[in-house]
A and B are shown apart, each in its own frame.
Chain A
């Protein structure tokens, strides 16, 4: 068992979830309630990571964020940020490819809240912010859980982008899924098997948690 890889995987999954959640909440709520003309374009762009092969995304990230690319150079010189073959780069790539996994369930959850419920809160004197915390977020809670679990499980299992952008640096960017690949290449089936089992268990636990917590959805109690 490659414990440093397990640590990198869990750390990456946790940070991706934490950093993505606030942005995804805002974006999902906007997509669920807005009638702006830009909405379909934003929705399409958001779904792109679901359809494109991870290697394609990895390739573009590598070519735009690498030290030879202007953006990569600028980030390195101005902000001291290296986004290829580093954990930060891995987090950024993970953040990007997980957007649809987090936003989609949240968007569906916000869209399921009847407009009249939101309006009833405003008419009851609740500000937009209080309406969000007291009414919308509790009602969208099953969607939040689903988004968190999906993002967590998907980050654990991501391979292509991670390999392209992160490389395979032990203790830094080598995740469980890459370690499994390594072990298989080295004919260490037992090691690969252990780590695969761990990934299956973690993903299953994440999804089981969602379904368990999702059983009581107040919006379905009518």
Chain B
């Protein structure tokens, strides 16, 4: 298991803490400048934070209190750099062999290249390989070290879209086949959602939240996390305790906004100003009013086709809030959804996640 707990004030501020079990893939997610790559460099030993502790299995790689600082050469880390950082003057096979500690490094390199689908390309130099092939060579080099931890720094950013999907599949397969902690740095949420067992959300060097992608997306800890993970339906409101135990009311937006029935987990004060999210899968779109709570009349104001799906904007009658949902383009073509048409949205109380507005500017 890899455990990381590092702090520093500058030049890149850090206050990050997370673990990654053997066989687990953890994605470090955050905007650029959030310290994701810095954190990866700390794990690899390429930079040292002012204080902290990094350990992998029984080995301590960094312990500022005890003055332990193991250099990168003595940490068994496989690191795939963002632009691969292959040695341009060496063949693919020699790139990989250089990292191998085995008695027959060239043979080991050939095996690894074959395993990653690069058999026959070992003699080529990096410049003679495609982006996807270079990425595989970088991965083979990282694995040649027989690492205790595999670190991937935005490994898909320099690969075009079709190759990327193939590489996602291969990484998922690798993840299943090796019992290593794998840390993936990405700013692409879809990538994190698709590949990671757990996500660690980073902002300005601080770990804001960690959990499975489903957990983080459905229950962001605060408004910043909701913003960072790109939750589209993110609103302000006022929470009010109800008479019925376990249930409360949520005023959507400012006074005059719709009122929703929501779960009361006794975590939010009565009359608290809140911010809340609802994942798209908890919002139903109906042509006639369905039975049940939280049915709101709305109007489809815009439908932006994006291939098979269309991004639709629904404006609520009460309060004028706008809800964004993806609908299939087929629904638009069949006339089930018409721009300007009246519809009903139903918000499932189980999907409404309410957060206090602490630390946020007042709603407008």
Interfacial residues, chain A to chain B (CB-CB below 8 A): 114, 116-117, 119-127, 134-135, 138-139, 218-219, 221-222
Enumerate chain A residues within 8 angstroms of B125, measured Cβ to Cβ.
218, 221
Residues of A within 8 A of B73 (CB): 122, 125-127
Query: Could you list 15 further interchain pairs (A-B, Cβ under 8 angstroms) beyond the known A119-B85, A124-B98, A222-B88?
Result: A116-B82, A116-B83, A116-B85, A119-B81, A121-B98, A122-B71, A123-B72, A125-B99, A126-B98, A134-B98, A218-B88, A218-B89, A218-B127, A221-B126, A221-B127
The 8 closest A-B pairs by CB, nearest first: A124-B99, A221-B127, A116-B85, A120-B85, A218-B89, A218-B88, A122-B72, A123-B79
What is the interface of chain A mostly: helix, strand, loop, or mixed?
helix
B254 interface residue (CB < 8 Å to A): no
Q: Which residues of B contact A120 (CB under 8 A)?
A: 79, 81, 85-87, 141
| Distance (whole angstroms) from the CB of A206 to the closest CB of chain B | 24
User: Could you show 15 A-B contacts with beta carbons less than 8 Å apart?
Assistant: A116-B81, A117-B85, A117-B87, A120-B79, A120-B141, A123-B78, A123-B79, A123-B145, A124-B141, A126-B73, A138-B89, A139-B88, A221-B126, A221-B127, A222-B127
Interface residues of B (CB under 8 A from A): 44-46, 71-73, 77-79, 81-83, 85-89, 98-99, 101, 125-127, 141, 144-145
- Tell me the bound Cα distance from A123 to B89 in angstroms: 18
Q: How far is the CA of A222 from the CA of B83 in the complex (A)?
A: 11
Within the complex, the shortest CB–CB distance from A127 to chain B, in Å, comes to 6
CA distance A134 to B88 in the complex (A): 12
Measured between beta carbons, the chain B residues less than 8 angstroms from A219 are 88
Q: Which residue of B lies closest to A131 (CB)?
A: B73
Report Cα–Cα, A117/B85, bound state, in Å: 5
Q: Known: A126-B73, A127-B73, A134-B98. Is A121-B127 also a contact (CB below 8 A)? A: no
Q: Which residues of A contact B89 (CB under 8 A)?
A: 138-139, 218
Are B88 and A123 in contact, with the CB atoms below 8 A?
Answer: no
Could you tell me the distance between the alpha carbons of A195 and B284 in the complex, rounded to whole angstroms?
94
Q: What's the least CB distance linking A162 to chain B, in Å?
A: 38
Contact B46 A122 (CB under 8 A): yes
Closest to B141 in A: A124
Provide the bound-state CA to CA distance between A4 and B44, in Å. Answer: 59
Q: A219 to B127, alpha carbons, bound, how many Å?
A: 9
Most buried by A among B44, B87, B141: B87
CB distance from B76 to the nearest CB of A (A): 8
Distance in angstroms between the alpha carbons of A121 and B97 in the assembled complex: 12
Specify which chain A residues have a CB less than 8 angstroms from the CB of B78 in the assembled complex. Answer: 123
Nearest A residue (CB) for B127? A221
Most-contacted residue by chain B among A117, A124, A222 (CB, 10 A): A124
